[in-house]
Structure 1
């Protein structure tokens, strides 16, 4: 049996490329060990079969942005039930507008989560490795409209819908002006800038209702679409918030 060596060193010998190019091949998901893709340049091998996939290119990985349907009960980015832990090839959904890219583990590392979503709410969550996307959603969060679908119980107070649209004071907060409308007998639509789950709960309470299920379905021009809880997709590079 041979002495274990780093996968990157084997790729250098196999392709006569530089060490950096070997790392890019591996991190880009272009290298297989005994038929299985391995993405860690430091992976140790002995006598296994190492091959380069067709069309392999030693190119840096472009920063990606992911939109997912965060289930209720999951934190946006911290703790044992952090939403990013649901990311994987098996939970990815592809659409005709998606960029043609393979799912890579590196896409899930060091993700920033601007415009977090409360643990008790579900819906659209943005996770990104793109500095520009993170900066925009962080710096301009108060100027980007969000849309929520809210299932409620109770009977709305007389004039309650008009009050919600004008913006009301509840629990010591001056709550934002919203566009609020009925989607069904027990479901309200909220659309507003600089709005949070806690705001929606207080607004409903002030109008005689209780918010049972709160789901964010849109941030700016990006909608969650048909993603089911735990599912995700890559955001096309041409799509803007």
Structure 2
């Protein structure tokens, strides 16, 4: 057997030059005690200073216990400056505003200032005892209450110089009211129609198979002698409504209008416009019956207003009333022993039926007023 002899490789130059490792001192092996370094020991010759040097990134002095001194962590400068850490930094919070805080502050600063609250004009009253603006306008004859609401909503009404756009606003009864020209133009476009209603038509909506009188308002039925100078337009049908009523068995003058002022003047609660009728009757009038027709009768527990009632001939009475209860003349006659067989309205206010034929109509002329 041949024996192989292994030679160890010679040590490298670096290994030869490497210094031997010194064993650690016993006190350094004790993990319960922090190691003591010569440079940490205070010099006996130099007096100890009560002031601590600023902390350096390259040098972190340690106390005799081996833990970092709290004083060494305190910055020499003011908190929050480059010379030290603030309390917010130690707690994980930042004294500087966050990005979203900056953006919110910027938005808040860029937001326009809130508008000052609009102060109500002296004319606008909060007292429930004050009348509503629409009522005051109607009472002054400026328009109907429905028109007033439309004008207010459109911003066409000023009260003591302030535009009022809120419905139901209450004002002083003597407040200064100015109406916009737009409202006047709108009002000027409305029309009022005078119709000679025949028997068999109802004044308002269709009922019991009878047609409303408004169906007669068409170009074919316009009176040839209409002197208003207004031409028929389909738009005149919009909002056209009867201002008053005539029974289905009655005939005569019926007013259809788009103008709220006309409607309120003729059928408003405070209307005082006269209506004149020719009434054919049968039966035997009771004693003092004519006096009762003029004043003294009641319907539905309500005393009727004074009327003007007189004989035209042996079969016909002339009535002038300032109110218009349902079937009022017929019921009045029944109370005094008479039965109505024919009723025709010939006048409303200053407007006469005249020679207008039954079933035909004409426009209320510009110079005519109720």
User: Aligned partners of 1:191 and 1:126: how far apart in 2?
Assistant: 17
Match of 2:345 in 1: 216
* TM-score, with length taken from structure 1: 0.67
> SS of the residue aligned with 1:180?
strand
Q: Which residue of 1 aligns with 2:198?
A: 71
What residue is the counterpart of 1:87 in the other structure?
217
Query: How do 1:123-138 residues align onto structure 2 when only pairs under 5 Å count?
Result: 123-138=252-267
Matched, 1:187 2:302: no
Whether the aligned pair in 2 keeps the contact of 1:70 and 1:124 (CA below 8 Å) is yes
Question: 1:197 Cα deviation (Å)?
Answer: 5.1
- Root-mean-square deviation (CA, aligned residues, Å) is 2.4
Give a deviation string over 1:157-195, Cα, whole Å, max 9, x none: 222212212332356442332100111211111002113
In structure 2, the partner of 1:240 is: 369
Q: Indicate if the aligned counterparts of 1:115 and 1:141 stay in contact, CA closer than 8 A.
A: no
Comparing 104-113 with 175-184, greater Cα deviation is found at 104-113
Which of the two has greater strand per residue? 1
* SS of 2:327 mapped into structure 1: helix
Alignment of 1:135-146 (within 5 A): 135-139=264-268, 142-146=271-275
Q: Say if 2:332 is the partner of 1:199.
A: no
Partner of residue 229, structure 1? 358
CA contact (8 A) 2:295 2:304 kept: no
What TM-score, normalized to structure 2?
A: 0.45
Q: Any gaps of 5 or more consecutive residues in structure 1?
A: 1-58
Larger Rg: 2
Query: CA 1:90 to 1:165, structure 2 compared with 1: closer, same or farther past 3 Å?
Result: same
Please say if residues 282 and 340 of structure 2, whose CA atoms lie closer than 8 Å, have aligned partners that are also in contact. yes
| Residue aligned with 1:191, SS | strand
Instruction: Give CA deviations for 1:83-127 in whole Å, capped at 9, x if unaligned.
Output: 01011222211447x221222222233202222223232211111
**Aligned residue among 304, 307, 314 for 1:178:** 307
* SS of residue in 2 equivalent to 1:211: strand
Provide closer, same or farther for how the CA distance between residues 141 and 227 of structure 1 changes in structure 2, counting only shifts above 3 A: farther
- Count how many residue pairs are aligned between Structure 1 and Structure 2: 182
Question: CA 1:173–1:152 in 2, change beyond 3 Å: closer, same or farther?
Answer: farther
DSSP 3-state at the match of 2:311: strand
* CA apart distance, 1:211: 0.9
Assess, with a 3 A threshold, how the Cα gap between structure 1 residues 202 and 73 changes in structure 2: closer, same or farther: same
